[in-house]
Amino acid sequence: MGNVWTMAAALAAAALAPLAAPAAAAPPQKPNIVVIISDDQGWKDVGFHGSDIKTPNIDALAAGGARLEQFYAQPMCSPTRAALMTGRYPFRYGLQIAIPSAHTYGLSTDERLLPQALKQAGYETDLIGKWHLGHADTKFWPLNRGFDHHYGPLLGEIDYFTHEQHGVLDWFRDGEPVKEPGYSTTLLGDAAVKLIEGHDPKTPLFLDLSFNAAHAPFQAPAADLERYASIAEPARRAYAAQVTAMDGEIGRVIKALDDKGLRDNTLILFQSDNGGTRNPMFSGEVDTSSLKSLPPDNGPYREGKGTVYEGGTRVVAIANWPGRIKPGTVVDEMIHEVDLYPTLVGLAGGSAAGGKPLDGLDVWGTISEGQKSPRTEIVYDLQPFRAGLRRGDWKLVWRTPLPQAVELYDIAKDPSEKDNVAAAHPDTVAALQARANALAKDMVPPLLLQTEFKAMKARMSLPPALPDDDAIDGAAE
């Protein structure tokens, strides 16, 4: 009898199974992911960090989500964008330095990029705004790197109104140059709103909205400038106006997500791509050397863009997802740009496998549940002439050409990097130097330096630079 009942139970279970299966197997809804990147914005240049520059929409994102107070990017535009796209440090593929406009190299095409991984996970992938990961060959362009659509500049250091750099148009829609009127920040906001309004909610969306604001040149529409009539210095006034103009566009994008009913299933990340520029040498190709002071403000952090000090690399950053990240969260744990790749691919239910080994670590538990960061080390930069490396709270700043300079800071106690304690901690310095050296064994020297050395070598085998015949004849008289 027992067997009969067992058989009956098994039959009943089998009969019920098909009914139960669809509910159990229904996949969780994949979140929309909107990454908003500002360009060269100072750490302090948001309302919630105490700025006089008005950023009510960014402030609301911060208040409604998590402020990431130890979020590290790379010191410049291209390297940070490369770190986001690959989940790997730029020293692994020679992209430690921003790509100058006349150079022809780009982000190595054998890297597997974030939009490729998200596309494989079923996402629509859109880049609205700046790329700066290769422009001279179409093989580097966004549509050949996993994006379904791209609108905006391929490089990004443009005039905000003409969209030109050095008189050359840098404004594209899906690979075609576009000449159109308008302030770049407004045009990018318009495009993002239109995209969200027309988006089919059945397909999860990855939007990389990458403003050229607030990079030099410092330009803003008259109405935005008028708001800051109280700021006497023209560059700071224009910079403040362009930050507030960008904030307004971010507000429109959030409203579009709200209106479309997507907001509760959308993770929004906001960050600057590097610290604000404090030295004209690093401001880009626009000459800012005549300015009395560069406008961005990195608050308590030392120096700015281009350097491995905290002012160049610890950037303003926010994560916001209603219902998934508690409002008012402050994450004071180390997170690096490379961590976004595995974190976002993980949330998307995709696979981080299939590319090269990642430097990034999944930090979702740190952002959303208050867990300790899995990250114990930050590589700020690694080049033949310098290293910036943090392990725990110890940070090494090492300029390697002779005469070399070695600095050591306790970042927890001295976040402003005022007190170089290298002399008092020789063992810590030696351990960090050994680690930097070990990492440097896998370093690809910057593609910029490789290209320039080739050009230099070519110039070294030109004909002798002797005076011309007239000068020689004259000398003999």
Contact in structure between 43 and 301 (CB atoms under 8 Å): yes
Q: Is 77 assigned a catalytic role? A: yes
Q: Which of 21, 22, 33 is nearest to 350 (CA)?
A: 33
> Residues 132, 150, 215, 336: which is the catalytic one?
132
- CB of 224 or CB of 273, closer to Ca ion: 273
Residue with CB nearest Ca ion? 77
Give the C-alpha separation, 252 to 201, whole Å: 18
Q: Which of 355, 329, 323 is nearest to 342 (CA)?
A: 355
- CB of 313 or CB of 368, closer to Ca ion: 313
- CB of 116 or CB of 274, closer to Ca ion: 274
Q: Which of 251, 246, 129 is nearest to 193 (CA)?
A: 251
Phi, psi of 281 (to 5 degrees): -60, -30
Min CB(444)–Ca ion separation in Å: 21
Contact in structure between 352 and 358 (CB atoms under 8 Å): yes
Q: Is 336 assigned a catalytic role? A: no
- CB of 77 or CB of 406, closer to Ca ion: 77
Question: Any residues with CB less than 8 A from the CB of 151 and at least 6 apart, and which?
Answer: 127, 128, 129, 172, 173, 174, 188, 191
Question: Any residues with CB less than 8 A from the CB of 401 and at least 6 apart, and which?
Answer: 385
Question: Any residues with CB less than 8 A from the CB of 451 and at least 6 apart, and which?
Answer: 103, 104, 105
Helices (H) and strands (E) in the chain, counts: 13, 18
> Residues 49, 77, 150, 336: which is the catalytic one?
77
Binding site for Ca ion (CB under 5 A): 39-40, 77, 273-274
Does residue 389 sit in helix, strand or coil? strand
- CB of 79 or CB of 94, closer to Ca ion: 79
Min CB(247)–Ca ion separation in Å: 17
For residue 264, what is the DSSP state?
G
Other CB atoms within 10 Å distance of the CB of residue 264: 13
Contact in structure between 38 and 276 (CB atoms under 8 Å): no
Q: Which of 239, 193, 194 is nearest to 213 (CA)?
A: 239
Min CB(210)–Ca ion separation in Å: 10
Residue given tokens 């190299």 in the structure block: 105
Give the C-alpha separation, 80 to 337, whole Å: 7
Angle at the Cα of 77 from the Cα atoms of 344 and 419, rounded to 5 degrees: 95
- CB of 214 or CB of 432, closer to Ca ion: 214
- CB of 188 or CB of 406, closer to Ca ion: 188
Catalytic residues: 77, 132
